[in-house]
Structure 1
């Protein structure tokens, strides 16, 4: 196939089509997009919106890297040691390639695994605290419970309670983690067991620092973490099926490779930030419509679908405004997000979720009429939050609590690497130096 002419790439070569790029790498198009999803290769939408185009120089470099890394021909396969670390734009050790032994995502099979074990199967079989503790230690301890230490919890509650009325759970958790860290004099101990001890206290502190949704003192510190989180997000009494969904969601969300927030945690840990500070970095990066807040957008959309009696007008409004339909599609999976698949199946066993689940299915069917689209985990979290009478921000709070376990796992990996390796080299494109000194404005007054 002749190269496409959409735009130009390095060296002045025309960009090439998906088929041509796959042929040059000796892989299938599905594998090519797996490289894109893991950051090994860049792509650009073709003119007219049909298909993608690739920089031939970047394709050639990936092919050469694959030959060098595997001793054979072709680019590295997804999940191989060469492909397991995505380039992030720098040349320094550890930044261009970030190796991790925590999560492997298989975008061809639409699955993911924690330390080689299917993550969906883990979440089905074990409680969140059990999966998190196993991820850190390699040992499964049935019935393990995380307990908040008194002094950090008191500081976290005081800080969270000082926020203005109407502050959401994420606002309270962000200040709670800072206050809890300030109350822990051992926070600077980065030895593995010290970090794990800190984390087993921090995760329940984030939950127990939130005020109970139905009022009261929240005296449920001995209950499983999912039960305590439930009481902070809704005043409704949970049934066993609903609690199971929440606990499963926490376990499924523990990690998902190098998401934006996880990368922020690793950057902080590279500078030897203590665990509270590293988690705080993750919470900050989580705050955005493309990451943590995505479930809130899906929550509001489901409410609109239920209020209007159908998804048609709601989907049309999103598309008319030039917005994506929330809760659909995932850049790492061709089909349905495996996390959504399990959660939606469990939600089908919750009687109170019938309305929200029907709205979600209507939305998927309407939006996917002409383009293949599937539910992602944000839509599943939205079904849970709508069905349970939780606020729109509940999905992000569930995400943050669950993901804290994964953030710490990544921080522990980074503590074992060379310090400050997460230091990419900037490509300066400002005015050439030297420039003259700036002069004050006439009269010395600011603009």
Structure 2
């Protein structure tokens, strides 16, 4: 697989320069290039790109370079959990797309992310009922999934057996229990040892053939995506010695923002609005003229299209939940791509699944959160085992204090 070379736009985006500047670097011998797989385009050395970035950051000074790296910039932490490439992402060196297409469950993916080896933390049983306080919370039908789960986790933490154990097996056992419990909380289901994708689909009572397999695939693709905002928040909490319950609460809180997990809800609303239009192309053009966003399209790390979305939309076509609605969603995707060149991302794909099966935006977010929970736990485990505290320094740019005297 060609992972050591990048497409032109991807390379330019990494460097933060125009294509013309990229080509100038090539002509000066600073970046190696070679023919692309189709024979018509060229690819550019990823290692040469990284060396250019490092030299440029070093020239800016360590403090300024660190500040820039926090916004889609250079890596700021080491991890063995996941890797992002323009053609897809990897879990401990294994293709997430291959896992999803190959039938892996979220539980199997979690074992890989948590570096369990031959140990299976999911063999342990579960309580057959929720604690009373959690059961009362689940009776509140007006509480959305994310808020319900965030409220319930501190209550479950009260009974956690190994909340602050340093034993790796104890930690992974608690992670497995927590993953199953949070998935059940997200869909207001009882605790279960059934595969998580089946638990979720059964709770929605759709009776739709093919949805269970589609949700399984989505959960695996959502499981981790390197150092995104919620995973970073989880690691910060874990670095303080907080319990796994507390660390994933940090992840859930961060996910709730409109620029992270809330993006799926915005994509869902966009799809619903467009499906009601007789001529969606006119509304898309109007949004573009006004400079408004098109929720669910484009991704800074995937300039040539989010491969996670491509896999899920292909899988959705295979299930064909509502042929007319699916065709309308596909026409919308084609319209946006034709008008502005943007391609669907993971948020759009999750929203399309919910729309295609006539499910709510909350369910799109529940799928995302249940899958990403496996990644948050992986980051929490890795950070706990490192034993280091995450405490960056700030570069003060405000008013300077007056000198005494």
Instruction: Tell me, in whole angstroms, the C-alpha distance in 2 between the residues paired with 1:111 and 1:230.
Output: 26
Please name the residue that 2:160 is paired with.
184
Change (3 A) 1:184 1:142: closer
CA contact (8 A) 2:111 2:120 kept: no
- Partner of 2:214 in structure 1? 245
Are the equivalent residues in 1 in contact too, given 2:284–2:336 (CA < 8 A)?
yes
Indicate conservation of the 8 Å contact 2:126/2:177, yes or no. Answer: yes
Question: Which residue of structure 2 aligns with residue 360 of structure 1?
Answer: 329
- Partner residue, 1:268: 237
1:104 aligned to 70, 83, 87, which one? Answer: 83
Q: Which among 196, 201, 206 is matched to residue 230 of structure 1?
A: 201
> Aligned ranges for residues 9-408 of structure 1 at < 5 Å?
19-20=20-21, 23=25, 26-27=30-31, 60-61=56-57, 87=66, 97-107=76-86, 110-125=87-102, 126-139=104-117, 148-149=126-127, 153-154=130-131, 157-158=134-135, 160-161=137-138, 165-210=141-186, 212=188, 218=189, 221-232=192-203, 234-239=204-209, 241-408=210-377
- The TM-score normalised by the length of structure 1 is 0.72
Show structure 2 runs of 5+ residues with no match: 1-15, 34-41
Task: Name the structure with the higher helix share.
Answer: 2
Cα 1:413/1:143, change in 2 over 3 Å: closer
Cα gap change, 1:98 to 1:174, in 2 (>3 Å):
same
Instruction: Give, in whole Å, the separation in 1 of the partners of 2:352 and 2:48.
Output: 32
User: How far apart in 1 are the matches of 2:48 and 2:232?
Assistant: 18
SS in 2 for 1:257: coil
Q: Is the 8 A contact 1:311 1:363 kept in 2?
A: yes
CA RMSD of aligned residues (A): 3.5
**Structure 2-normalised TM-score?**
0.79
Q: Aligned-pair distance for 1:119? A: 0.8
Describe the shift of the 1:359–1:389 C-alpha distance in structure 2 as closer, same or farther (beyond 3 A).
same
Q: Does the residue aligned with 2:114 lie in a helix, a strand or coil?
A: helix
CA apart distance, 1:181: 1.4
Shift of 1:220: 7.7
Q: CA deviation at 1:156?
A: 6.6
Q: Corresponding residue for 2:400?
A: 432
- Asked whether the 8 Å contact 1:130–1:143 carries over to 2, the reply is no
Output one character per residue of 1:25-71: Cα deviation in whole Å (capped at 9) or x when no partner: 923697699999x9x96xxxxxxxxxxxxxxxx86335899xxxxxx
Q: Is the 8 A contact 2:114 2:378 kept in 1?
A: yes
Structure 1's unaligned 5+ residue stretches are 1-14, 42-57, 66-85, 213-217, 437-447
Structure with the greater alpha carbon radius of gyration: 1
- Give the CA deviation at 1:224: 1.8
Q: Deviations over 1:92-136 (max 9, x none)?
A: xxx9730111111112xx221111111111112212211212322
**Structure number with higher relative contact order (C-alpha < 8 Å, ≥ 6 residues apart):** 2
Shift in CA distance, 210/136, structure 1 to aligned 2, threshold 3 Å: closer
Q: Relative to 1, partners in 2 of residues 1:88 and 1:101: Cα closer, same or farther, differing over 3 Å?
A: farther
| 1:354 Cα offset (Å) | 2.6
Query: 1:140 offset after TM fit, Å?
Result: 6.7
> CA offsets, 1:167-200, max 9 Å, x none?
2111111112222112324212243212211111
Shift of 1:361: 1.8
**Count of equivalent residues:** 369
- 1:378/1:222 Cα in 2 relative to 1: closer, same or farther (>3 Å)? same
Following superposition, the deviation at residue 303 of structure 1 comes to 1.6
Q: Give the secondary structure class of the aligned counterpart of 1:209.
A: helix
Quote how far apart the aligned CAs of 1:407 are. 0.8
Work out whether residues 304 and 314 of structure 1, in 8 Å CA contact, stay in contact via their aligned partners in 2.
Answer: no
